[in-house]
Chain A
């Protein structure tokens, strides 16, 4: 494998392959805290890309810039062929209906039932559901995908952490997105539940043919799900390759990720 340094452009995709996300020289700082210092990334269609980085390295910041929740200081972000920076609110919302987002802490609306949680994204993204008046079958399908059809009328507070994560996953896929962004899908879960979540992610990927960007610092998760990995170190895409390539690396900063 080869370690990218700042000056080397990241591996360009073959022209025949469709690019889903393209990030170029992304920079973001909070006050004196320079978090991203020129991050580059490409995600191709149908691919599972894992971005790994230490806690506080700016993974969540990066993924939030991707969907327009945070404005980067500079850099170019293209998602599904659209430059995020140049979209107005309507276009941005329309683009977002093609993106599923699983938040780090699940982020279920705690004043709503599971069913209302799942119906919420459908309120505005009606265009996608032209002619569908009954949302129940869709909610059911999404919940069945994560094996929680029986929780439909429960409140989030009545669910365990793992169940919440699964409901959040169901909510992320209810709009049948082309791209799913996972912010630490397994953080805070025990190894067995983590495995279940990863299994679900793979099933969904298989069933709907989505592309996925997975942010994690869970090595096991990365091993199972990644087709390609990027290590985020010191605010840049420090290294890139397959799991086996990276785990065999001699670079101490890369090695640090895989040491038990």
Chain B
């Protein structure tokens, strides 16, 4: 058994920042991560970090833009914390040596970004995430923080009191990918989940292969609600074969979208008569899919993004990296031919429910970064707002877990007084296939108060699970995973309607039942990725289901969530957060109000038009 004060799960921007903060606050901290830190998907972020740094800009403007962008589903205390702390955190990165782009006067550069009233997106070329990730990893090396890399966290060690808010977390159970051993990691003061995105729930995504939502699924099964899971951002221009992102910059410079009939459909089919290709991400994504669904897609799959008319000189000057991306990942030459693009899953606004200090309703369990929902993005994330979330809330979670006093949070968690229960309308059973088979909940009986005992029990359970998976001769998890991914992309995409959502729930149920027969055919204890992927697929199942339940219930159009049956934002009925609780295998749906009252103003919902 390993023992530390604070255990951070994940080493992307959020996890690294949390670890640094916990260490500065005096804790003995360790990071447990399934990828070596520099392999984390934070490295893929291109655009930049929003921070109100300059004269003429103010954090209150950033907060206003963010609330509006969230379609009034962001919580004001979280949004204001983000916008107030981002400048300090961004400059902190500079003080750690991050290689930002520079202005003539030597100060860090900022650029305009969609939905922002001031050019406050602070950047390092088109590789901001890479620079941020490496800069923070350097600090972790400098401080000698212990890193257990290539250790896959399988489960949390949480007590099993009836109400999740009475439970406490004492550590994690992890699998050493190199040797196959399953070990307990005792956390005396707290566990911080920073496991990143969940794009692998869909079959076409800008996310990495490792973004399987493990932290969200583990917290969910331990009793923490998943919040606002139905809000998924789809990016309109991703390469069809890999999902690699083609930045908005191409359309910003004048790139044009064409269908199979060479029509400039954004205008010719009236999707956005004013903004055309520059309409917001969700509008363009829906337009592309309509074209494809109506038979005007190319090879029935994608549309064309053409930038040839911009001329070689301008393309080389401003969009050079796009040429490389299209060439390397799609074999297309952007100077000679239009580039194929289609919408792809990009970002999860929802996640593990936390307060402004990163804390969940389970004592000692925290979450930060993309896996968390604090909630700053609400119904829709503005570009450039995820990286500041990593550093602002990563730091807060680290400090709080290490014992720093950050004040009383205003956001409530768990089933607090204003929790509103609701019925789940599903055509099939949901949740555990057999909730009474003794595998739920994860931890020991009788709410064992002794942390070591809780951890030991959890370790035993996971060791058994590994043996079972290695012994069984079942089906390949990849079949189950692709069944889920395909139905999610077909039915829970940018277009959502009741019938399709119900179909998705039925397909997920089917996949869940098939997962009961899954087996790992690689018998090896050495670097068994078959086993790891099989465990990840379980997480994908739980997340896909909760996401679809939330989408089916929310009959309105808000932010990135569109419903055919009610294509308007319905503030009267839906100005509230979705909460889905595992409830030991029999999921429950509920809601809690949005907090629109900020420190000294209330953000009144307005029409979101740009």
Are these two chains actual partners, yes or no? no
